[in-house]
Amino acid sequence: MDSRMKSAFELEEGSHIVESNNQLETNEITNDDANLQDVISTKAELVRSACAMDKSSTLHFRDKIVIVTGASSGIGAQCAIAFAKCGATLTLVGRDVKRLQSVAEKCKEAKGITPLTINVDLTKHKSCELVVDTTVKIFRRMDVLVNCAGRATITSLFDNTMEHFDETFAINLKASYRLMQLALPHLKKTKGNIINIIGANFEKVRPGFLPYSISMAGLETLTKSAALELAPDGVRVNAIRPGITKTNFLHNLNIMGEDLEFAYARLAENTPSKRVIQPEEIAKMVIFVASDTCPSLTGAFIDIDGAASMS
């Protein structure tokens, strides 16, 4: 490229193209110079159009208030960071104080906006009320709720207690239901939306995961019913269904070190794509669904599982 053309344009940090203040000398304009200036003028118009498109992008969340549960690790953490990069103001909910603070710091680094962090167990009495009430009290509104908190324990009908069943339902289904109830009046005002993270392939019978599968089926029904019920009020409800994703899931089942890597390798072998999904990939889809890009997108279930649900 001609050096004079280079002087007319530079790349700003963050890959936004801007015009330089440098001006071309026009004392002696030849035909080549005139053609060059035509090219520069055309490119300048394209640059201005690109910048205008960037500013009007529906994937920004400036002035939007977003609650993300399960934000201390895995998919929830990556969702929080992705929203922060899009300019959202965040409420991060999680049980692990240290990890939650680490995620909050990464979110602040993105755009300089300090998230509200709430260290709470959502299964405890009035904990969901604390999350929504505190968010609205501080930020005066709410635009997006991402229900990402969840758990799975290995148990079966041979377990004569209800402890594992109750714990699984409390976080996977009851907490999501209660948060949606509490968020609804505020989301109606902002025409906001809800995204539920539902484990994919829960329909496939796997010994030891009965309470988890039942809770995921319940969350799916909740999403469908809520989408239909809230559509007249302009509140969208959707679900993202990740496949085998690299999170703390296996670690929480006491699978660690070399055993953990071996487990992921075996899991990858059993999927058509032969790969384990990274949580950042799920977060990108959450951002898209939560944005205003598709205003009629509600009641949708989006599988990100490398075609595992097809096999």
| Catalytic residue selected from 122, 212, 222, 305 | 212
Alpha carbon distance 76, 97 (integer Å): 14
Gap between the Cα atoms of 96 and 77, Å rounded: 12
109 Cβ contact partners less than 8 Å away, ≥ 6 residues apart: none
Question: Using CA atoms, how far apart are residues 231 and 218, in angstroms rounded to an integer?
Answer: 20
Cα–Cα distance, 280 to 282 (Å, whole number): 5
CA distance 5 to 120: 56
**Listed residue (67, 238, 75, 213) closest to 136, CA to CA:** 67
Cα–Cα–Cα angle for 112, 117, 122, nearest 5°?
150
264 labelled catalytic? no
- Give me the active site residues, please: 212
